[in-house]
Chain A
Amino acid sequence: MTDARLVLCADDDEDILSLVSLRLRRAGFEVTTAADGAEAVEVARARRPVLAVLDVMMPKRTGYEVLAELRGDEALCGMKVILLSARVQEGDVARGMDAGADAYLAKPFKAQDLVAKVEELLA
């Protein structure tokens, strides 16, 4: 079972991680964080969030790799994933969607866009 209001945020940039977390908390979600890809996988397995907001360019494991790992884990099959990245070229977006992301948001992002996307995916 996944936690119905728990969201995982993973980003190696501390400032952005705090910003995203704050925005989601304000929107009424419970937030757990990870500072790199490996930690993101670990936390996801341990806490089973309902949704993950993953940065793409992270150390240890990239957002794509984390996504692939989560998608390969049957226990996490209901989990939604949003990729949030400053890499916004067509190839990057296409690669993210091909890897099984539910959404791809570009940095910088508008708070209302992020929250709206999360709400939409969890609706």
Chain B
Amino acid sequence: MTSSPLASRAVPAVAARVRSAPATWAFLGVGLLAIGLYFLLPPDVQSVFYVVIGFSSVMAIYVGAARNLPKSERLPWQLFAFGLLGQVAGDAIFAVYEVSLNREPPSPSIADAFYLAGYPLLALGVLLVLRRLGGQTSRAAILDTLVIFSGVALVQWVFFIDPYNHMHFGSEFARLVRMAYPAVDVLLLVAFAQLLVGPGGRTRAYRLLLGSIALWVVADEIFGLNSSYEGGAWIDALWLGSYVMWAAAALEPSMARIAVPDRRRLPRLTSTRLGLLALASLTAPATLLIERVSHHRVHAFVIAFGGAVLGGVVLLRLAGLVHAVERAGLAERLARREAEQAQQLLAFQNEQLLEIDRLKDEFVSSISHELRTPLTSIAGYVELLQEDEEDAEKRGHLTIVGRNAERLLALVSDLLFAARLQYGRLELERSPVDLRSLVEQCVDSAKPRAQAASVHLDLEVEDVPQILGEQAKLAQLLDNLVSNAIKFTPRDGRVGVRLTAHHELIRIEVSDTGIGIPDHDRERLFERFFRAQSALERQIQGTGLGLYISKAIVDAHDGRIGVDSLPGEGTTFVVELPAAA
């Protein structure tokens, strides 16, 4: 099974294409065949057939809009249908005259009213389609439209509208009607230009619509240049093609989402848009040149006026661009300044945090110093007195003072260790550690204590891989566990220390035959200041910090510590540490 994301995304597109194929392609195919057939028909049937093709297209647009769009979104396509229906009505009037009266209708006639009424509807339809896609209402977009409109209007006036001023007509009204055709073409030309520069992500429906309007305006312009038109001329193929393509666009399902909406505040200056704007801007000098070269009468006033309007609008557009660039520059400077300020603040806060960190370390350090200094004197002089004292009883008393000074020192050390742990996880100064020799040293130094308590101390070690850790902390951990085991084991009991390697884990087991830990105490054993009930009952001394510190040391080494115990039988602490990679 080869199902890439690309393939699965392509499936709906292919399915849509298959579904759309019958309606769109069938209509296009039949339409093109009908257009071909049109040129083979005798003249009187021809005009009727022309109306049939046109009317079918109008119906297809209506049906396509109903099929592909919800009611609220059909208006632009209904405008297309009505606009084209105006054309078909005009064609029908022509056909009636040609078939039944064997002549063309008078000029002007009611047919002109239908024809001319259609154009604004078509242009409005295009405008609404584009409005839904956005990007048409910004000042820049409107100025672009104005540039194109000015260029088109100038050309239309000079080459298509004004010539009628110099022709002979039956009446002024007849002249005005003839002039109205190139005038309304301006609307469709501008609408076409807007479609051309419209948003990206165009569907097949969009391209069909663009093509149909292109055919239409080309036909109109050719017709305008060459007024010797007769029904059945090749130019009919363009208008008929436009009808058929327009209908195909409406039938194409992609017309529902005709392009990717454009939410930009400024229209993108694509090469099409730039080209079109340049073309429009050049209409004035081009017109002047063409008129001069072909020895036409030069429309100096119109060209000057059109050129001025174009120049003005282009200047406004340029000013807008400059402003936009300036605004962007200003926004960038502001953003950069804000970023700099934020960075400074961050640096300042960092400095403060470092300072707080330093003060905290300093505080713990000086408390430690203040407590240890008097203890140094106490322990030191007691040691001195013990050595010098000859009276055994007094020496015994001094031993008690010395032992308690040591306890006090251990307590101070543990409290300070716990205080530093409160600030955060234990920081280690890691180096490779040989646990075997460390365990051996620890057991060695615990021997006097074990002897004093009449506890047998057994050691079972094997060679294990090195671990990456801090030697002093690991020694503290071992000392805590072994001291605890001795402390909680009655006379003649046993304490065993085992060191073994299990693949990547090194296991240290410290077991005793002591009083054991009941289940309900086991869960809280590693909490700060926690003391088991059994220890309190037996008045076994301790601060409740040893196992808390041990767990912190194991955690800092990415290891695990656990306990297994049977009350009355004994306890085993198990520490597992990862070997150095």
On A, residues with C-beta under 8 Å from B are: 13, 15-16, 19, 22-23, 57, 85-92, 106-111
Q: Report how far A108 CA is from B413 CA in the complex, Å.
A: 12
User: By the criterion CB–CB under 8 Å, are A86 and B368 in contact?
Assistant: yes
Which stretch from B32-40, B151-159, B375-383 is at the chain A interface? B375-383
- Name the one of A13, A57, A111 contacting B383, with C-beta atoms under 8 angstroms: A111
Contacts of B472 in A (CB 8 A): 90
Chain A residue with minimal CB distance to B406? A108
Q: Report how far A22 CA is from B531 CA in the complex, Å.
A: 42
Q: Is the CB of B390 closer than 8 A to any CB of chain A?
A: no
Contacts of B370 in A (CB 8 A): 86
Contacts of A106 in B (CB 8 A): 372
User: By the criterion CB–CB under 8 Å, are B369 and A108 in contact?
Assistant: no
On B, residues with C-beta under 8 Å from A are: 361, 364-365, 368-373, 375-381, 383-384, 405, 409, 429, 472
Q: Please, could you name 26 A-B residue pairs with CB atoms under 8 Å apart, sorted by A?
A: A13-B376, A13-B377, A16-B377, A16-B380, A19-B376, A19-B381, A22-B384, A86-B368, A86-B372, A86-B373, A87-B365, A87-B369, A88-B368, A89-B361, A89-B364, A89-B365, A89-B368, A90-B429, A90-B472, A91-B361, A107-B372, A107-B375, A108-B372, A108-B376, A108-B378, A108-B409
User: By the criterion CB–CB under 8 Å, are A108 and B368 in contact?
Assistant: no
User: By the criterion CB–CB under 8 Å, are B383 and A110 in contact?
Assistant: yes
Chain B residue with minimal CB distance to A106? B372
User: By the criterion CB–CB under 8 Å, are B373 and A16 in contact?
Assistant: yes
> Given that A86-B376, A88-B368, A89-B365 are contacting pairs, would A111 and B384 also be in contact in the complex, using a CB cutoff of 8 Å?
yes
Identify 16 new A-B residue pairs, CB closer than 8 A, beyond the known A16-B376, A90-B472, A109-B376: A13-B373, A13-B376, A13-B377, A15-B377, A19-B380, A57-B369, A85-B369, A86-B368, A86-B370, A86-B372, A86-B376, A91-B361, A108-B378, A108-B405, A108-B409, A111-B384
User: By the criterion CB–CB under 8 Å, are A19 and B364 in contact?
Assistant: no
Interface pairs A-B: 5 shortest CB-CB: A86-B372, A108-B376, A107-B376, A108-B379, A15-B377
Q: Report how far A110 CA is from B409 CA in the complex, Å.
A: 13
Q: Report how far A16 CA is from B372 CA in the complex, Å.
A: 11
Query: Nearest-CB distance from A66 to chain B (Å)?
Result: 17
Q: Report how far A109 CA is from B472 CA in the complex, Å.
A: 17
User: By the criterion CB–CB under 8 Å, are A88 and B372 in contact?
Assistant: yes
Q: Report how far A90 CA is from B368 CA in the complex, Å.
A: 13
Chain B residue with minimal CB distance to A111? B383
Q: Report how far A87 CA is from B379 CA in the complex, Å.
A: 17
Q: Report how far A107 CA is from B377 CA in the complex, Å.
A: 9
Contacts of B376 in A (CB 8 A): 13, 16, 19, 86, 107-109
User: By the criterion CB–CB under 8 Å, are B368 and A19 in contact?
Assistant: no
Chain A residue with minimal CB distance to B409? A108
Chain A residue with minimal CB distance to B413? A88
Q: Report how far A91 CA is from B371 CA in the complex, Å.
A: 18
Contacts of B381 in A (CB 8 A): 15, 19
Q: Report how far A57 CA is from B384 CA in the complex, Å.
A: 24
Contacts of B368 in A (CB 8 A): 86-89
Query: Nearest-CB distance from B377 to chain A (Å)?
Result: 4
Contacts of B405 in A (CB 8 A): 108
Query: Nearest-CB distance from B367 to chain A (Å)?
Result: 10
Q: Give the residue among B365, B378, B409 with the most A Cβ atoms within 10 A.
A: B365
Query: Nearest-CB distance from A107 to chain B (Å)?
Result: 4
Q: Report how far A91 CA is from B365 CA in the complex, Å.
A: 10
Contacts of B379 in A (CB 8 A): 108
Chain A residue with minimal CB distance to B369? A86
Q: Report how far A90 CA is from B365 CA in the complex, Å.
A: 10
> Given that A108-B409, A111-B383 are contacting pairs, would A92 and B373 also be in contact in the complex, using a CB cutoff of 8 Å?
no
Chain A residue with minimal CB distance to B378? A108
Q: Report how far A92 CA is from B372 CA in the complex, Å.
A: 15
Contacts of A88 in B (CB 8 A): 368, 372
Chain B residue with minimal CB distance to A20? B380
Contacts of B371 in A (CB 8 A): 86
User: By the criterion CB–CB under 8 Å, are B380 and A109 in contact?
Assistant: yes
Contacts of B373 in A (CB 8 A): 13, 16, 86, 107
Contacts of A85 in B (CB 8 A): 369
Q: Report how far A92 CA is from B366 CA in the complex, Å.
A: 11
Q: Report how far A25 CA is from B145 CA in the complex, Å.
A: 106
Q: Report how far A76 CA is from B370 CA in the complex, Å.
A: 32
Query: Nearest-CB distance from A37 to chain B (Å)?
Result: 16
Contacts of B378 in A (CB 8 A): 108
Query: Nearest-CB distance from B56 to chain A (Å)?
Result: 93
Q: Report how far A22 CA is from B369 CA in the complex, Å.
A: 22
User: By the criterion CB–CB under 8 Å, are B377 and A19 in contact?
Assistant: yes
Q: Report how far A122 CA is from B400 CA in the complex, Å.
A: 35
Chain A residue with minimal CB distance to B381? A19
Q: Report how far A23 CA is from B379 CA in the complex, Å.
A: 13
Query: Nearest-CB distance from B55 to chain A (Å)?
Result: 95
Contacts of B384 in A (CB 8 A): 19, 22-23, 111
Q: Give the residue among A85, A86, A92, A110 with the most B Cβ atoms within 10 A.
A: A86
Chain B residue with minimal CB distance to A94? B429
Query: Nearest-CB distance from B370 to chain A (Å)?
Result: 8
- Name the one of A86, A90, A111 contacting B380, with C-beta atoms under 8 angstroms: A111
Q: Report how far A21 CA is from B322 CA in the complex, Å.
A: 86
